[in-house]
Amino acid sequence: MTGYVFEMVQGVLALLLAPGLAGFVRWVKARLQNRRGAPPWQPYFELRKLFGKEVIVSSNASWLFRFAPYVIFASAIAVTLLVPLIAAPLPFDGMGDLLMVVYLLLLGTFFLALAGLDVGTAFGGMGASREMTVAAIAEPTIALAIFGLALGAGSTNLGRIVTQTLANPAVAVSPGRLLAFAALFIVTLAETGRLPVDNPATHLELTMIHEAMILEYSGRYLALIEWGAWLKLTIFFTLLANLFVPWGVATTFDPAALALAVASLIVKLAVLGVIIAVVETRVAKLRLFRVPELLGVSFVLALLAVTSSFLLK
Amino acid sequence: MMTVLFLVMIAAYGFGACVALLGGAGLDRARLVAAGAATGAGAGLALGAVVIASGQPFALLIPELLPIAGGLALRLDPLGAFFLIVIGAGAIPAAIYGAGYSKAYEDGHASLRLLGVMFNLFLLAMSLVTLADNVFTFLLMWEGMSLTSYFLVITESSEDSTLRSGNWYAAMTHAGLALLLAAFVLLMNGGTGAFSDLRAGAVTLSPEVRNLIFVLALFGFGSKAGIVPLHVWLPRAHPAAPSHVSALMSGVMIKLGVYGLLRVALDLLGGGPTWWGALVLGLGAVSALFGVLYALMEHDLKRLLAYHSVENIGIIFIGLGAGLIFHSSGLMTLAVLGFIGGLYHTINHASFKGLLFLGAGSVLHATGTRNMEEMGGLIKRMPWTALFFLIGSAAISALPPLNGFASEWLVFQSLLGGLALPMPEIALAIPIAVGMLALTSGLAAACFVKAFGISFLALPRSREAEHAHESPLSMRVGMAILALACVALGLAPFAVVPMLGGVLAGLGGLPDTRPVFTLDLSVQAPAGFAQISPAWIGVGLFVLLALVPLVMRLARANRKLRVGDTWGCGRIGQTARMEYTATSFAEPLRRVFAELYRPAKELTIDFHPESKYFVQSIEYKSEIMPLFERVLYDPLLRLVRRVSRQVRRVQAGSVHLYLMYIAVILILLLVAARWF
């Protein structure tokens, strides 16, 4: 019973943290660019505004367009129940492993791309096509990074990876882990639609991917999709933070340990947020057809990660 | 009990064939044919289930029938029973669907009589392949299956392209048969040809002969399964056949190639050196990737699905290859995991590919076209077909909680176990296979966003699509059964995996792993490697999908909804010509993989004579290079043509010349008889 309660608490925590994280990245980016920027809590106001507005649906759209936001949001929440945000192993750890996490997120992407095609505009199709291209090419890197993590831990289940690394800290600084971290970091940029792959702050038709797909969404549907995207960012950051640097994650459901875990999670997310903001300020957007090269680099890194962990085993 | 089921199966298929052949004008022939086929398939499925549940094989020997080759020997062990279940599971919905679908042939542009006879005989031959217990029976039924399916492919024989597709199919399947004949002759080693004798005799064969048998069997069965580079007949034959036949050929028949390979390599030969598995794994990975890459560029809905069959056969072969590798290294639990992954994907592919072909058939039925660029907006006109096609698309894209995910997860897990292998060269090749498998599944998702999105969503792109209508009830029922199977197989790996462990127990010395894989509601890879529970994930997603709107309502979110025009950058009146097309959807990937596709593009612009700023017409043509046809088959066909031209000189069409041949041969024979 405590397990279920705990899972609910963790889900709510993720839901509450996600907009703040997105706002924080925006805010740091603005400061780095010498702008004042909106406060980090701006996304919470955006959500309230969007949930209060009526929805306008295109007359071309079918039921799928109205169903997709729920799938995107629900699959993102389901993933937050599997990812060790503050404690490991989670009560639901045996229900899904890293592969399940990746494919649940792909489920959301799949429906988002279909929704982009559903309204019948050139923008929607363009976004869907680009999104699926990037997602497909990122997939091998993700699989190999998982492989690299699983090698050290002997399992693809997230709880096991965290506890194994905690028990054996030397693994965390092994070359395999570091390479896998680099690979997964590049993939995080691609999967969450950050620069240099996609620019979350623009609606320029030549470059946009994610924004092109959701152009026709409004009101509560847009709120769900945006929130889902922020959750996805939080999930990828948590994976980077807690799988590679698991210290701080509670291994018992002791209140003090949990409080420490929440604090350490916020610190880790903030550090990653600053890193992303710096990267986004420093690099220019890549042409779409240069993205496969970037992902190719990440694939090679992941392959090296697996090879080196195998050779050093 | 088993005998009764067996006899019912034979009788029902026979009834279906006879009704088709003899039925008069007063009967509803399509329905009776379907009833026969569905009953036969149901009895076959039940027979398979009884054999697997009881673990008792069913055997029947009729030595009087063609005694020269050991008679007709039938024996159904759990492995055969599993494939009999796959046949039944694919054939029941296909038969029901066919009752409605073949109504379109009543106008006489194809022979319903031939279709009905061949459909039932095809199912019978396939079922008996899984039962065959000696070489003679096996090859007889194998050839029967190939011939009947050839006639099914050329059902719409009034079109030239159909006949050409049929030729490709006949040539490829008989090339495969030739290899199989050679393999079985070597395997028989002068013996009787009963499978039990082969099993005993295989140990005494020299390693070279065993290797030769394996390679012959791999490519012989591979030509039926459709592995690269023997896949060229699939994208030709599957689209040409009636859709419920495509569903059977793609969902079920090509799986018998998998069955044959397992039977020969694992059961009869009892496994072999590591390179056998590595070869299967490599062929599988290459097939998976090339299959999906060519599917992406395909805009004929049924050809696209046919290329995806190449992909999925590749995934199955990856599982089998991993299994064979572990088997040769003595890592038996991991070996079982690999084989289970392959077999699980076999039945999963049968269900979702069958479903997708039936869906494509409904679209073809409603719009008269297979070209995706002329579809669109069908989700509003054919809501049921669209829903079923969506389920199939999500399943084949390996999205949880549907069945494609469950089996791909198992294949992934068996590959992860590859690092336990003592040979570094193999262990280091495995990450490459993981990468290829992951890329394949990502590209498959992209391809099915294209297939579903362009065909079913947005505005209709042609008049035919605009006036499309939902399919009749029988067709919808056929699709519904398979859609339910996709969901059920996805949620229930906890039941399927131990069952498959039981199927594999004893083959080639594999242990009974049912205790290892039996767990409540979740599935665990061995030695605590990993664990998932798709059933709970499915429940969780369902609960969340219900909970989110409920919470939104409690939190007083705005519930108003207004329908308006799509935003058109200020332009009023959106038309289907503004939509993204399948070609444009696939364009980024075409450029990313340009090295492989070698796209050729031809653009002809017709300007207005007065000014270059006014365009009268634009013609755009683009095609990709079919690599295997160009590199492998074109030279081969040229060679065949050249040889045939030489042979033609001998066959001049003159009776006098032929009489002379006969005389010369006669004299030669007489001389030979005198001498020897």
Q: To which residue do tokens 């038709």 refer? A: A205
Question: B115 is written with which tokens?
Answer: 């279709």
Can you tell me the distance from the alpha carbon of B132 to that of B564, in angstroms, rounded to the nearest whole number?
Answer: 63
Report the mean per-residue pLDDT for chain B. Answer: 88
Write down the pLDDT at residue A165. 87
pLDDT reading at B325 higher than 90? yes
**pLDDT below 50 — which residues of chain A?**
none
Domain map of chain B by residue range? 592-625, 632-675
Yes or no, beta carbons of B567 and A215 under 8 Å apart? yes
Query: Would you call B403 an interface residue with chain A, using a CB distance cutoff of 8 Å?
Result: no
Q: What is the extent of the structural domain holding A195?
A: 2-311
Query: Rounded to two decimals, what is the model's pTM?
Result: 0.94
Produce one character per residue of A85-104: b if its CB has 16 or more CB atoms within 10 Å, e if not: bbbbbbbbbbbbbbbbbbbb
CB atoms within 10 A of CB A158: 26
Contacts of A219 in chain B (CB under 8 A): 558, 560
Produce one character per residue of B329-338: b if its CB has 16 or more CB atoms within 10 Å, e if not: bebbbbbbbb
Nearest 5°: phi and psi at B60? -155, 125
Q: Annotate B85-135 with DSSP letters as a single string.
A: HHHHHHHHHHHHHHHHHGGGGGGTTS-HHHHHHHHHHHHHHHHHHHHB-BH
Contacts of B537 in chain A (CB under 8 A): 78, 95-96, 100, 104
Cα–Cα separations (whole angstroms), residue B650 to A202, B644, B658, B660, B663? 74, 10, 9, 11, 15
Yes or no, beta carbons of A220 and B552 under 8 Å apart? yes
Angle at A130 between CA B592 and CA B410, to 5 degrees: 80
Nearest 5°: phi and psi at B102? -80, -5
Mean pLDDT in residue range B589-603: 86
- Chain B nearest C-alpha distance from A234 (Å): 19
Query: Would you call A217 an interface residue with chain B, using a CB distance cutoff of 8 Å?
Result: no
Write down the pLDDT at residue B27. 62
Write down the pLDDT at residue A167. 87
Cα–Cα separations (whole angstroms), residue B38 to B59, B87, B166, B291, B480? 23, 11, 26, 31, 15
Can you tell me the distance from the alpha carbon of B152 to that of B170, in angstroms, rounded to the nearest whole number?
Answer: 12
Candidates A49, A103, A204, partner chain B, best to mutate (most B CBs within 10 A): A103
**Left if phi > 0, otherwise alpha if psi is -120 to 50, otherwise beta: which for B13?**
alpha
Contacts with B, A 232-271, CB within 8 Å: none
Write down the pLDDT at residue B156. 84
B311 — pLDDT class (breaks 50, 70, 90): very high
pLDDT reading at B525 higher than 60? no
CB-based contacts of A13: which residues, under 8 Å, 6+ apart?
A85, A86, A262
Yes or no, beta carbons of B537 and A78 under 8 Å apart? yes
Query: Would you call B427 an interface residue with chain A, using a CB distance cutoff of 8 Å?
Result: yes
Contacts of B550 in chain A (CB under 8 A): none
Contacts with B, A 72-101, CB within 8 Å: 73-75, 77-78, 81, 92, 94-97, 99-100
Instruction: Return the closest-CA partner of residue B317 out of B262, B251, B247.
Output: B262
pLDDT reading at B652 higher than 80? no
- Contact yes or no for A193/A138 (Cβ under 8 A): no
**Left if phi > 0, otherwise alpha if psi is -120 to 50, otherwise beta: which for B191?**
beta
Write down the pLDDT at residue A92. 83
Write down the pLDDT at residue B521. 52
Angle at B518 between CA B513 and CA B519, to 5 degrees: 150
Contacts of A307 in chain B (CB under 8 A): 428, 431
Domain count, chain A: 1
Partners of B603 in the β-ladder = B620
Can you tell me the distance from the alpha carbon of B538 to that of B490, in angstroms, rounded to the nearest whole number?
Answer: 9
Contacts with A, B 579-618, CB within 8 Å: 579-581, 584-589, 591-592
Yes or no, beta carbons of B566 and A103 under 8 Å apart? no
Write down the pLDDT at residue B349. 95
Write down the pLDDT at residue A196. 85
Query: Would you call B530 an interface residue with chain A, using a CB distance cutoff of 8 Å?
Result: yes
pLDDT reading at B67 higher than 80? no
pLDDT reading at B515 higher than 70? no
Yes or no, beta carbons of A94 and B533 under 8 Å apart? yes
DSSP β-ladder status, B600-607 and B615-623: antiparallel
DSSP 3-state of B24? coil
pLDDT reading at B526 higher than 60? no
Question: A234 is written with which tokens?
Answer: 């939080």
Write down the pLDDT at residue A164. 86
Write down the pLDDT at residue B81. 94
pLDDT reading at B313 higher than 70? yes
Instruction: Return the closest-CA partner of residue B228 out of B632, B640, B586, B591.
Output: B632
Mean pLDDT in residue range B127-140: 92
Yes or no, beta carbons of A57 and B561 under 8 Å apart? yes
Give residue B207's Cα distance to chain centre: 32
What ipTM does this complex have? 0.95
pLDDT in tens, A163-184: 888 888 888 888 888 999 999 9
Yes or no, beta carbons of A136 and B446 under 8 Å apart? yes
Can you tell me the distance from the alpha carbon of B243 to that of B353, in angstroms, rounded to the nearest whole number?
Answer: 11
Query: Would you call B151 an interface residue with chain A, using a CB distance cutoff of 8 Å?
Result: no
B307 — pLDDT class (breaks 50, 70, 90): very high
- Contact yes or no for A46/A225 (Cβ under 8 A): no
pLDDT in tens, B331-363: 888 899 899 999 999 999 999 999 999 999 999
CB-based contacts of B425: which residues, under 8 Å, 6+ apart?
none
pLDDT in tens, B8-63: 999 999 998 888 888 766 567 788 888 999 999 999 999 999 999 888 888 887 77
Query: Would you call A4 an interface residue with chain B, using a CB distance cutoff of 8 Å?
Result: no
Can you tell me the distance from the alpha carbon of A181 to that of A186, in angstroms, rounded to the nearest whole number?
Answer: 9
Cα–Cα separations (whole angstroms), residue A227 to A230, B81, B183, B264, B300? 5, 49, 60, 54, 37
Question: B514 is written with which tokens?
Answer: 């049912």
pLDDT reading at B606 higher than 60? yes
Where helices occur in chain A by DSSP H, the ranges are: 2-32, 42-52, 63-80, 98-118, 122-153, 158-167, 175-191, 210-213, 219-238, 244, 255-282, 291-311
Contacts of B559 in chain A (CB under 8 A): 220
Residue A54: which of B380, B400, B562 has the nearest Cβ? B562
